[in-house]
Amino acid sequence: MTTMKTSLLALFFLWGTTALAQSANYVPNEPVVLRLPSHPEHASRQPMGEIHYLTEAGYGYTYAQGERPLWDVASVSNPVPLGDVARMLRKQHENARKANIVWNN
């Protein structure tokens, strides 16, 4: 009996909401024209602006302490060709120690 009451209550609730949804007029029928703002003087010629400093005191000197980057002090050496590096790595791989245990599944 209670399942019948809950199903009827749900059915009446569904019917009521559909009736209200059909009678409500929330969406206007008139179209809305989209007007984008234009800025005609945005790209026109203007005088230069004033100088704005980012520091508090205005113009000052900057002092930094630390290590110098490598490209300031290192000399440029002759790079090793990629083929030579590949051959050297292949020889190292051949001479490397191999595993003693071989698993066969």
- List, for residues 63-78, the tens digit of each pLDDT value: 778 888 777 777 777 7
**Virtual torsion, Cα 54, 55, 60, 63, nearest 10 deg:** -110
53 Cβ contact list (under 8 Å, min separation 6): 59
- List, for residues 22-41, the tens digit of each pLDDT value: 766 666 678 888 888 777 66
Residue labelled with tokens 């019917």:
15
Q: Write down the pTM of the prediction.
A: 0.26
Residue burial 60-94, b: 16+ Cβ < 10 Å; e: rest? eeeeeeeeeeeeeeeeeeeeeeeeeeeeeeeeeee
